[in-house]
Amino acid sequence: MRLTVGFGGAKHLIDDASSTTSVKELKLRLEPLTGLHMGHMRLIVKGKQPEDDVTLGALGVVDGAKLMLMRKGEDTSKRSRPTADSHPQEAGPSVTATDSTFPPKHDAIIAVGDGPITLIVAKGKQIYELRCDQTSTVGELKHMIQSSSGVEPAYQRLLVKGKEPSNGQTVSQLGLAKGGKLMLLFRDGHHREMEGMATLDTAQTELASLEQRWEGLQRKVKKRLLDAAAGIAELGAIEGLLAGLMQDLQNARLSEEGAARRSTQLDAMTRIGTEIEQLKKELTIADLDAQRRT
C-alpha cells in the first residue's frame, strides 16, 4: 500500500504500509522522514485523529490515500525563521532557502537554550536552534535536543563537517565559537526504543485498569458478594492479564530511564501477583469447605 503524507508543505511517500499497519507504526516510519518525534505527531485521517493502536484497514485507508501530519502544540512551538535583520545581535549564521546544507523548506524551527552562541542543527526538515556558550559540550547539546525531541542522547549522532565528535568536546574546540551548522542523525536502535517506550505507556494504562479490577474484586470478596468459585475464576482472569503484561514489559527494549520505569511497574505487578496468590489460597480453602458441607 502506497500512502502520501503531507507535512509542513512537504509530501512524504510511504510505500510499504498495509491494512494491518497501525497508526503508531506509521508514525515510527515517518520519524526519519520528517525529523519529528512520534510523541509530537498528530496524524489526521479523514479529518479525525485516530488512536495509535488503530490499524489503517480499520480506518478505511486504501492504496494511494493521502493523509495529513501535524505537530502537537504547533501554534505555540512554531515561529518564523530567523534572519540577519530579525536577530542582528546573534552570532549564529542566518539560514536561507538557497543554503545547500539544508533542505529548501523547513517544518519549524525549535529554539532551545539562552546562550550567546547560536548553532543550527538539521534533522531532515526539522531545525533545532541551540543557544549555548563556547564551553558547552556535545553531550550538553544532545540534552538540549532531547528536551524538544524526546530522543535520548545515546541515540543521537551530531555531525560537524561530516565527522562525529566525542560528547566531551566543547563548542569552542569544534571551531563553533561564532556559531555554525550541525547535522543530527538517530542511531539504529532509536525506533526499537520508541516501541519499547510505547509498550511502557500502554502497560501503565493497563496496570491502572487491572489495579482497579483487583481492588473491586477484593471488596466483593470482603462483602461476600461472590462465592469462592466465582472469586477464583475472576482471580485467574486477572492473573492471566497480569502475566501477559509482565511478559510484554520484559521483552521491551528500553533505555536506562525506560528500564527504571519498567522496574517500578514490574514491582507493582509482582506485588499484585503475590496478593492474588494469597487470596486464591483462601478462596480455595473456602470452596473446599463449602463442598464438604454440601
**Residue percentage of the chain with pLDDT more than 70:** 84
> Residue 99: pLDDT above 60?
no
Give the integer Cα–Cα distance in Å for 134 and 115. Answer: 9
Sheet holding 66-71, edge to edge: 10-14, 3-7, 66-71, 41-44
> Residue 192: pLDDT above 90?
no
Q: Which three cell numbers stand for residue 11?
A: 509530501
- Supply the pLDDT for residue 187: 75
Residue type, 14: I
Contact 204/147 with Cβ under 8 angstroms?
A: no
Confidence at 293, pLDDT banded by 50, 70, 90: confident
> Residue 124: pLDDT above 50?
yes
Record the pTM: 0.42
Instruction: Write the secondary structure of 202-220 as one string of H (helix), E (strand) and C (coil).
Output: HHHHHHHHHHHHHHHHHHH
| Residues near 242 by beta carbon (within 8 Å), at least 6 away in sequence | 210, 269, 272, 273, 276
Give the integer Cα–Cα distance in Å for 10 and 105. Answer: 8
Give the integer Cα–Cα distance in Å for 9 and 169. Answer: 36
287: number of Cβ within 10 Å:
16
Q: How far apart are the first and last CA of the chain?
A: 63
Give the integer Cα–Cα distance in Å for 207 and 242. Answer: 8
Strands (E), 15-173: 41-44, 66-71, 108-113, 117-123, 126-132, 156-159
